[in-house]
Structure 1
Amino acid sequence: MKKHPIFTLVFLCYLLSVTTASAKDSILLLGDSVSASYGMQQNEGWVHLLNQQLTEQNAPYEIVNASISGETTTGGLSRLESILNKNKVDHLLIELGGNDGLRGFPPKLIKNNLLQMIDIAKSKNIPVSMFSIKIPPNYGPRYTKMFEEVFSTVANEKSIKLIPFFVEFVAVKPDLMQADGIHPNAKAQPIIADIVREDLRKLLE
């Protein structure tokens, strides 16, 4: 039976849309509660909001959120290999270390975990970027300095991009933070989404 030209055109458009959608690069975000919508619904979190923006802008990439509340660099390291084996990942974005710092974990342990995560990704030819992380100053100047230096040291040693601490802008504004003073609230999420969108644009485009 001869197909109608309009049918053929519609079918070709469908194939093009499917191909375009599947051609998007997948950015795996390995993070903690700050990226896991702690204290709110998933669709209120900055990752969901950012993915909405990226879709509206026809950006060539999307974020796959593998963040878990309470996650540490040790936990991220233990999960990473399995996640990479089960998913198509074009870029790894690490947002871990905050819980390590809040629990006073040794900076050497944090550094070694981050180095191993980067090595795992690079062994699969997956480029890596990492967020710099900061903790409250009440942990003392010595530990705070050693903790924060871990991220720049790792980035330099492994020649990866280090993205500025994306919560820093909202963390100093009480009206944008939850009652615990650690997690940004729902009002802060669109702001964080805009900050990270610009960071990703500079990084990937």
Structure 2
Amino acid sequence: MFKRILISIGSALAMHAVQAAEPVILVFGDSLSAGYGIAAEQAWPKLLEKELARQGKKFRVVNASVSGETTAGGLTRFPASLKQHQPQWVILALGANDGLRGLPVAGIKNNLATMISQAQKSGAKVHLIGMQMPPNYGASYTQQFAAVYPALAKQYQLSLSPFLLAPIIDQDRYFQADQLHPTASAQALLLKYIQQQFKP
């Protein structure tokens, strides 16, 4: 019995050592990255890990995305996630819920900028994923909102995917019944789009 326990502990420690040796990609977003309405294994962050492995790149992808998250909420969680996972890369994909609530663009930009700065100070590289708002939010707001992401990418010298939903936005079949969240079949398209700019 005692021998089995020692073997079990040894296996767990070995597994932890292997995981610790693999560089981490931390995906930090909202429901669009959390895989809302589909299985976690089907969401694009998990597909990213599988695709990198297929390419012979040994990364561990940690999906710390939370459905309903705003940039303010993300900012409160972010330092602990950085400390816990010590990522080599951070994929930051927040802002959609702020925009849907019509929150001030300046606050959204400041929150994202703070997280980017924190990530870079920790030694992580950042890939930023942008979002856009539908036209019914008014031309002024939608333009200001969309401009946040390229401005931050330029300021902090980040790689950028300008609009996560770009490859599917005009195809209803790739959205769930709420017409907000991508289906499982859309995830590979989202990943392909992200990988055009994100090359770890």
Same fold (TM over 0.5): yes
Quote how far apart the aligned CAs of 1:152 are: 1.5
Q: After the TM superposition, which segments of 4 or more aligned residues of structure 1 sit over 3 Å from their partners?
A: 18-24
- 1:129, distance to aligned residue in structure 2 (A): 1.9
Residue 54 of structure 2: aligned partner: 56
Please report the RMSD computed on the Cα atoms of aligned residues, expressed in angstroms. Answer: 2.1
Q: Which amino acid aligns with 1:187?
A: S
TM-score of the aligned structures, taking structure 2 as reference length: 0.85
Relative distance call for 1:21 and 1:70 in structure 2 (3 A) is closer
Q: Decide whether the 8 Å contact of 2:132 with 2:146 is kept in 1.
A: yes
TM-score, normalised relative to structure 1: 0.83
Q: Corresponding residue for 2:8? A: none
Cα deviations by residue, 1:115-172 (Å, 9 ceiling, x for unpaired): 1111211222222221121121111111000111111222222222222323111121
- State the 1:25 CA deviation: 2.2
SS of aligned partner of 2:56: coil
Corresponding residue for 2:140? Answer: 142
Which blocks of at least 5 consecutive residues in structure 1 are unaligned?
1-14
* Corresponding residue number in structure 2 for 1:29: 27
2-structure distance, mates of 1:21, 1:81: 21
Deviates more, 1:96-105 or 1:192-201: 192-201
Aligned residue among 125, 128, 134 for 1:127: 125
Matching residue within 127, 152, 159 for 1:154: 152
Asked whether the 8 Å contact 1:54–1:62 carries over to 2, the reply is no
Q: Percent identity?
A: 37
Aligned residue for 2:9? none
Contact 2:27 2:45 in 1 (8 A): no
- Structure 1 residue 196: Cα displacement: 2.4
- What SS does structure 2 have at the residue aligned with 1:29? strand
When Rg is computed on C-alpha atoms for both structures, the one with the higher figure is 1
